[in-house]
């Protein structure tokens, strides 16, 4: 089983450029999440979705937008990249939170903004 | 939201020793207490979890203990092996009421020396 797949795995951007990270899951999960991971900061929630067509802000949403047009996909967009957005981004999915709460993560996307 | 503190931030042990990582949380509504292991270059993966109606759970060399009164839970690894070297995260949450409040600890870097 593929589980959670993120593309691309690596990307280098110049300040001001835009890009989209794609997350796909094949487990029919309702919930999907985007996190960023920075040294010493752990995992911080950017945006999340509780179902197809819905999105909501997490802890650090500024500078990012998301869309969940299909249940299996969750896109993270950067409209105008900034060096502060250099990070490793993880997508995760789970069953409805009232169930187990276990998160299934992708392998990460390393983004560098010059 | 949930305030989560994880200690220690780094832990170095000799192979065969035991390792203990503690996670303290603030939200008394938390009822699901997982531990995730993140190996280098990969996404976090659930290794053990416990629910609020259980005080201790064991799975081979790893165990989790919960003290709901004091609002902390701990990961115990016995007979450590080099492959246990990784970053460990706790993520206490209140299941269906958590939504965007999912909060991870800052992580503990465990190094097991052969």
pLDDT digit string, tens, across residues A55-89:
999 889 999 999 999 999 999 999 999 999 999 99
Cβ A110 vs Cβ A99: under 8 Å: no
Which candidate, B2, B4, B1, places its Cα nearest to that of B72? B4
Give residue A99's pLDDT.
Answer: 47
**Do residue B99 and residue A98 have CB atoms under 8 angstroms apart?**
no
* Each residue's pLDDT expressed in tens, for chain B with a length of 114 residues: 578 999 999 999 999 999 999 999 998 888 889 999 999 999 999 999 998 878 999 999 999 999 999 999 999 999 999 999 999 999 998 766 555 567 899 999 999 999
How far apart are alpha carbons B104 and A105 in whole angstroms?
14
Task: Characterize the bridge pairing of strands B56-59 and A56-57.
Answer: unpaired
**Considering only CB atoms, which chain B residues are within 8 Å of A46?**
none
Give residue B11's pLDDT.
Answer: 98
Q: How many CA atoms lie within 13 A of A49 on its CB side?
A: 25
Hey, what are B41's tokens?
């270059």
Give residue B2's pLDDT.
Answer: 72
Hey, what are A102's tokens?
């276990």
Q: Which 3 state secondary structure label does DSSP give A53?
A: coil
Give residue B96's pLDDT.
Answer: 61
From residue A32, how far is each of B42, B44, B106 by CA, in Å?
18, 15, 21
Cβ A71 vs Cβ A57: under 8 Å: no
Give residue B101's pLDDT.
Answer: 63
Give residue A98's pLDDT.
Answer: 47
Give the distance from residue B80's alpha carbon to the nearest chain A alpha carbon, in angstroms.
23
Give the distance from residue A114's alpha carbon to the nearest chain B alpha carbon, in angstroms.
22
Q: What is the DSSP letter of A79?
A: S
Give residue B45's pLDDT.
Answer: 97
- Could you count the other beta carbons within 10 Å of the beta carbon of residue B22? 18
Cβ A19 vs Cβ A11: under 8 Å: yes
**Do residue A45 and residue B102 have CB atoms under 8 angstroms apart?**
yes
**Considering only CB atoms, which chain B residues are within 8 Å of A34?**
none
Q: Look-up: residue for tokens 């409209």?
A: A79
């Amino acid at each position: 089983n593929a589980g959670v797949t993120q593309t691309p795995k690596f990307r280098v951007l110049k300040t001001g450029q835009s890009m989209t990270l794609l997350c796909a899951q094949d487990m029919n999960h309702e919930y999907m999440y985007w996190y960023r991971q920075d040294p010493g900061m752990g995992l911080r929630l950017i945006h999340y979705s509780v179902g197809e067509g819905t999105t909501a802000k997490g802890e650090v949403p500024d500078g990012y937008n998301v869309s969940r047009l299909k249940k299996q996909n969750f896109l993270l967009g950067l409209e105008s990249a900034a060096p502060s957005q250099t990070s490793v981004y993880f997508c995760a999915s789970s069953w409805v939170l009232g169930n187990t709460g276990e998160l299934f993560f992708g392998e990460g996307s390393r983004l560098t903004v010059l | 939201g949930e305030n989560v503190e994880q200690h220690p931030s780094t832990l170095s042990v000799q192979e065969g020793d035991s390792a203990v990582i503690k996670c303290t949380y603030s939200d008394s509504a938390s009822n699901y207490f997982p531990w995730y292991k993140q190996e280098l270059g990969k996404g976090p993966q659930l290794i053990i979890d416990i629910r609020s109606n259980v005080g201790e759970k064991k799975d081979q060399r790893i165990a989790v203990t919960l003290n709901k009164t004091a609002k902390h839970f701990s990961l115990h690894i016995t007979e450590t092996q080099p492959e246990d070297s990784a970053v460990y995260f706790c993520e206490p949450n209140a299941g269906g009421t958590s939504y965007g409040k999912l909060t991870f600890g800052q992580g503990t870097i465990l190094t097991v020396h052969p």
